[in-house]
Chains A and B, each alone.
Chain A
Amino acid sequence: MTDKNQVAASSNLVVILGALSAIAIATARIYASEGAALMLVARSADRLKGLADDLRARGAKQVETAVMDLETAAADAPRHMADWMAKLGGLDHVHVIYGYLGTQKKATSDPSELARITSSNYSTAVLWCEAAANIMRAQKRGSIVGVSSVAGDRGRQSNYAYGAAKGGFALYLQGLSHSLALTGARAVAVKPGFVETPMTDGMKKGGALWASPEKIGKILRRAADKGGPIQYAPGIWRMIMTVIRTVPAFVFHKTKL
């Protein structure tokens, strides 16, 4: 490890929301190797325990877990966030990683699916971000890193429910980043492209545009320390999405994307 990491280790107090996703595990392992203190939040107590043991064995200084449904608990976000901060002895980075892909087809006919996609990817996610932001505004440091998606860059017939929620989330983080700009705290939306995770099982994987959860984890870890408010993961997607956004509707509407 470099000197920089050793300095960071003494101030790595990290909350991870949706800690059991493949991307979250990859991110948490990077923090663990730096000797960070981690608060892992997800629904399954057994799985969280297994992950906590793994992170301790990999060098995490402290691992706490909280079992909850992040969508329903979001109404109490400020209280939970203060609680976690007290357990860790401070708050440096908050990663909002949980999300729900759902299916557009079901969302079109079933309002509860549409509501869940919106709630998981946007309306509860921003509650956690704001709770963290209020702490960081006051302490004048810290970072909030939310996982958005390239799907949020242009509405498409195949997944506009998910895309709109993730796009809205990125916009919220961008605004939050602006509001924090003078305080020293930061907010970042990371937009991954295709990632090899269970969320994408059933799709044909392995092409040049597919990234491993470990690669996205590295980008999330770096985003906690530096970079602009919107980061593509990996960076090539900024170019791809610029092209996709610029295609005129009369052309785009002929595609099945």
Chain B
Amino acid sequence: MSIRFDASDALASWGRVVKATHLVARPRFPDELPSLLAGFSAAEPGLAVGLRRSYGDSNLNPAGRVIDMTALDRLIAFDRKTGVMRAEAGLSLSQALQVLVPQGWFLPTTPGTRFVTLGGAVANDVHGKNHHAMGTFGASVTRLKLHRTDGSTHELAQGDPLFHATVGGLGLTGVIEWVEFRTVRISSASLEAQDTPFENVSEFFDMSAETKETHEHTMAWVDCSTGGSSLGRGILSCANWSPHGDLMPHQEEPKKKMPMDAPSFALNALTVRAFNSIRHGLKTMRNGPYHTHYEPFFYPLDAIAHWNRLYGARGFYQYQCALPSETARDATIELLKTIVSSGQGSPLAVIKNFGANPPVGLLSFPREGTTLAIDFRNQDEDTLNLMADLDQIVASAAGRLNPAKDGRIPADLFQSVYPKWQEFCAHVDPGLSSAFWRRVSA
């Protein structure tokens, strides 16, 4: 059966702001890739996509061709002694964990959802709650195989310039066929965790400076609806792997799902504030260490399939910036003030410190300092204007924005905060492109 591209309106990014038609092909075997790629050209570029958890438009190619990689999901090898796994790029982290955990291994680092493909994890050089300990996912990648649209294939390792363009390269340097990566030993599938409330964002900075030394996994939820002395109050979560417990992996299918789009009033400023306030109160009462399976700690939102529908049919934006240590505290306060006064903040604001690990990819997002991520329900001009204001604060603090989350930054901003972008351009496969890339490379 020869494989072909079929028109689909169903392909969207996680933020669901852009509605577009794509021509989609879903190969099931790697030997089908070359003929699909042969049709891509600079005039009609294509793009490979995975589980589409990027929020903006880095995984979209409207009116163009897209290769859905999710059926290329075979394990190629897993060495139970060394923990090195090689698998096709469409394998989800979730599926990888089903194999790793019972054998006493875990992903070196994991983003906040397990519904990410290996290819996506590399192309976005994803980070997790243990960035300060393990760096990004790319740091644990030992080899990968890349197909270019000129028909060439490349097996790449750390040190190869094309490897460092491909890690964090947003799928623009070629199509990744497989990824080989190191995993880490665990003696149980559980964590010893602790939630500690903080009354304002300055307290977060003081507390997280300490937990960095004592805990492998840390992140904090931040309330974006209160100002004054409670500006940036929240809960700091930190954890270490537990030596006690079994090696039971998570349950693959989410227990609940959002059956349809939420109506627009469901997430207005009032409910956001109520949600945050309740959460704050609850967490204040449970102050002390607790034993938890990794699933609710690492993947709280995966418990509800299609949670992005909570933001309604018009979708939402996520704004994620990384701020260098020197400016992080002041800039974070400035950002939170702007968000609070806009009344557009969501319950899903996350703050975390990045470690000093050098970036693996030319376009890798994390840098030493602090990262802040906030969701904004799409309210067109109001939201875009607010984010433009935030851009000013980030730019003057010498910070940068995460391409995996972005669906709107102008080219000059992208180019100024990613100084290696021109070096990256030299590695871009002319037959590949995305809506994001066309915008920021203009």
Contact = CB atoms under 8 A, between A and B. Distances in A.
Interface of A: 20, 22, 33, 44, 46-47, 50-51, 53-54, 57-59, 198-199, 201-202, 206
A53 B28 contact: no
Contact of B31 (A33, A46, A54, A201): A46
B284 to A, nearest CB: 40
A22 B28 contact: yes
B76 A53 contact: yes
A53 B10 contact: no
B250 interface: no
Contact of A47 (B6, B29, B99): B29
B400 to A, nearest CB: 37
Given A198-B3, A201-B6, A57 B31 contact: no
B76 A50 contact: yes
Interface string B403-431: 00000000000000000000000000000
B1 A58 contact: no
Contacts, number: 42
A191 to B, nearest CB: 22
Contacts of B78: 57
Nearest to A53: B76
Nearest to B252: A214
Contacts of B74: 50-51, 53-54
Contacts of B75: 53-54, 57-58
A50 B75 CA distance: 8
Contacts of A20: 29
Interface string B14-32: 0000000000001011110
A236 B373 CA distance: 44
B286 interface: no
B31 A53 contact: no
Contact of A206 (B3, B10, B76, B99): B10
B256 interface: no
Which 6 residue pairs across A and B have the least CB separation, nearest first? A57-B75, A54-B74, A57-B78, A54-B75, A47-B29, A53-B76
A46 B28 CA distance: 13
A245 to B, nearest CB: 30
- B: interface residue count bin: 10 to 19
Contacts of A201: 1, 3-4, 6, 26
B71 interface: yes
> For chain B, what secondary structure do more than half of its interface residues adopt (helix, strand, loop), or is it mixed?
mixed
Interface in B9-64: 10, 26, 28-31
B207 interface: no
Nearest to B102: A59
B77 interface: yes
A53 B178 CA distance: 14
Given A59-B99, A202-B6, A206-B10, 9 more contacts: A44-B29, A46-B31, A50-B30, A51-B74, A53-B74, A53-B75, A198-B26, A199-B1, A201-B4
Contacts of B71: 22
A224 to B, nearest CB: 21
B291 to A, nearest CB: 23
Nearest to A59: B99
Nearest to A205: B10
Contact of A198 (B10, B28, B30, B99): B28
A206 B26 CA distance: 15
Given A47-B31, A58-B99, A198 B1 contact: yes
19 contacts: A22-B28, A44-B29, A47-B31, A50-B30, A50-B74, A50-B76, A51-B74, A53-B77, A54-B74, A54-B75, A54-B76, A57-B75, A57-B85, A57-B99, A58-B75, A59-B99, A198-B3, A198-B26, A206-B10
Contacts of A59: 99
Contact of B29 (A50, A58, A199): A50
B203 to A, nearest CB: 46
Contacts of A58: 75, 99
Contacts of B76: 50, 53-54, 57
A199 B28 CA distance: 12
A22 B77 CA distance: 21
Contacts of A198: 1, 3, 26, 28
Contacts of B26: 198, 201
Interface string B93-114: 0000011000000000000000
Which of B4, B10, B29 has the most A CB atoms < 10 Å from its CB?
B29
Contacts of A202: 4, 6
A50 B3 CA distance: 19
B326 to A, nearest CB: 46
Interface in B62-95: 71, 74-78, 85
A204 B360 CA distance: 42
Contacts of B10: 206
Contacts of B1: 198-199, 201
Nearest to B3: A198
A57 B77 contact: yes
Contacts of A50: 29-30, 74, 76
Which of B3, B71, B74, B98 has the most A CB atoms < 10 Å from its CB?
B74
